[in-house]
A and B are shown apart, each in its own frame.
Chain A
Amino acid sequence: MFDPLAPQGRLAVAALVLALLVLPLVWHDTYVLHLVILSMIFGAFAVAWNLATGFAGLKTFGHHAFFGIGAYFSALVSKDFEITPWITAPVAGLVAACAGLVVALPVLRIRSVPHVAMVTLGFAEIVRVLLTVFRETTRGEMGLWGIPAFDGFTLPVIGEVVFNAAEKVPYYYVAALLFLGTVYATVRMVKSPVGLALVAIRDSQDAAESLGINLTRYKLLVFSASAFAVGLLGAFYAHYILLLTPSSVLGLDLMILVIGMTLIGGVGTLFGPILGAFVLTIGVEAMRGVGEYRMLIYGALIVIVVMFMPRGLVALLDGLGPRFGFGRGVRLATSDDAPRPG
Chain B
Amino acid sequence: MTLTLFLEQIVNGIILGSMYAIMGAGLALIYGTMRILNFAHGEFYMLGGFFVFFLFAQQGLNPVPAVIIAVAGVALVAAIVQRLTVHVLLKREGWAFSTIAATLGVSIFLQNLALALWGERFQSVPYFVDGLLQVGEFRLPWQRVLIFVVAVAVMGVMAYVLRYTRFGWAVRATAQDPEAAAVVGVPAARIHTMTFALGAALAAVAAALLAPVFAVNPWMGLPLIIKAFVVVVLGGLGSFPGAIAGGFLLGIVEAVGITLTSSEWRDVIAFGMMILFLWVRPWGLFGVKER
Binding site for B on A (CB under 8 A): 59, 61, 105-106, 109-115, 117-119, 121-123, 125-126, 129-130, 132-133, 252, 256, 259-260, 263, 292-293, 295-296, 298-303, 306-307, 310, 331-334, 336-338, 340-342
Contacts and interface: CB of A to CB of B under 8 A. Distances in A.
Nearest to B279: A106
Contacts of A256: 104, 108
10 contacts: A59-B96, A106-B278, A112-B237, A125-B271, A260-B105, A263-B101, A300-B105, A307-B85, A336-B96, A338-B290
Contacts of B104: 256, 259, 302
A126 B282 contact: no
Interface in B177-227: 177-180, 222, 226
Interface stretch (B50-58, B87-95, B131-139): B87-95
A110 B282 contact: yes
Nearest to A308: B88
Interface stretch (B122-130, B154-162, B249-257, B262-270): B262-270
Given A296-B112, A310-B98, A331-B93, 6 more contacts: A59-B97, A119-B275, A122-B271, A126-B272, A306-B102, A332-B97
B237 A302 contact: no
A106 B272 CA distance: 13
Question: Which of B113, B115, B268 has the most CB atoms of chain A within a 10 A radius of its CB?
Answer: B268
A110 B35 CA distance: 15
The 10 A-B residue pairs with the shortest CB-CB distance in the complex, in nearest-first order: A342-B177, A302-B105, A299-B108, A299-B109, A332-B94, A333-B94, A114-B37, A337-B96, A333-B93, A303-B105
A331 B275 contact: no
Given A114-B31, A133-B265, A307-B85, A122 B226 contact: yes
A298 B100 CA distance: 16
B229 interface: yes
B19 interface: no
Interface residues of B, number: 57
Contacts of A114: 31, 36-37, 96, 100, 237
Nearest to A140: B264
A158 to B, nearest CB: 43
Contact of A126 (B222, B237, B268, B290): B268
A59 B101 CA distance: 10
B97 A337 contact: yes
A332 B233 CA distance: 25
A41 to B, nearest CB: 21
A259 B112 contact: no
A106 B110 CA distance: 32
Contacts of B111: 295, 299
A301 B106 CA distance: 10
Given A299-B106, A302-B105, A129 B268 contact: yes
A334 B94 contact: yes
Binding site of B, secondary structure by majority: helix, strand, loop or mixed? helix
B94 A341 contact: no
Given A109-B282, A300-B109, A293 B226 contact: no
Contacts of A296: 108-109, 112-113, 115-116
B109 to A, nearest CB: 3
B67 interface: no
Given A299-B106, A306-B89, A341 B267 contact: no
B275 A342 contact: no
B98 A342 contact: no
B4 to A, nearest CB: 28
B230 interface: yes
B264 A115 contact: no
Contacts of B18: none
Contacts of A115: 233, 237, 278, 282
B155 to A, nearest CB: 23
A121 to B, nearest CB: 7
B61 to A, nearest CB: 29
A76 B271 CA distance: 25
Contacts of B21: none
Nearest to B181: A342
A340 B105 CA distance: 23
A332 B98 contact: yes
A288 B115 CA distance: 17
A154 B237 CA distance: 58
Contacts of A341: 33, 35, 174-178
B112 A295 contact: yes
Nearest to A57: B97
A310 B92 CA distance: 10
